[in-house]
Amino acid sequence: MRRFVVDASVLLSAVIAKPDSHPSLLLDAIRAGEIEMVACERLLDEVRRGLDGRYFRERIDDNERVAIPTMLLALALMVTDPELVPAVLRDPTDDYLVELARANGAEAIITGDRDLLEHEGLVPAAMSAREACLSVGLI
């Protein structure tokens, strides 16, 4: 099974996007057990903070906003938050995603973050939701 780290922005997009959107297709594949998502509490906290923001409060009812992180927790291969996080990216707050992926055998980080997507030589590589869908045969 293919293993990925899925950035909070992609997960948040998946919960409000059209069913045939790339983030939604990825979330469906995770639900179906076709791909494995590696996550940690720090990543789920980012999702929770996003869901608590005005944009999501206006679009998703309170019960669903509480249920989404619980669902992700059940779907993910949960690991401990990375402790030693080397500086890799321009935005140091995302360095933990790189270490999370490296330490847990993820083949890529699925993200919409340009800092990750445009970082040359990033190991493992970052890819967009569309690229991930193509690589696993979802589109």
- Which residue from 79, 119, 118 is spatially nearest to 101, judged by alpha carbons? 79
Distance CA(38)–CA(30), nearest Å, equals 10
CATH number belonging to domain 2-135: 3.40.50.1010
Distance CA(81)–CA(99), nearest Å, equals 9
Contact 5, 40 (CB under 8 A): no
> What pTM was estimated for this model as a whole?
0.95
Contact 110, 4 (CB under 8 A): yes
pLDDT (tens place) for every residue of the chain, 139 residues total: 899 999 999 999 999 999 999 999 999 999 999 999 999 999 999 999 999 999 999 999 999 999 999 999 999 999 999 998 888 898 889 999 999 999 999 999 999 999 999 999 999 999 999 999 999 999 9
Please report, in angstroms and rounded to a whole number, the separation of the first and last CA atoms in the chain.
18
Q: Where are the domains of the chain?
A: 2-135
Distance CA(40)–CA(73), nearest Å, equals 9
Distance CA(57)–CA(32), nearest Å, equals 27
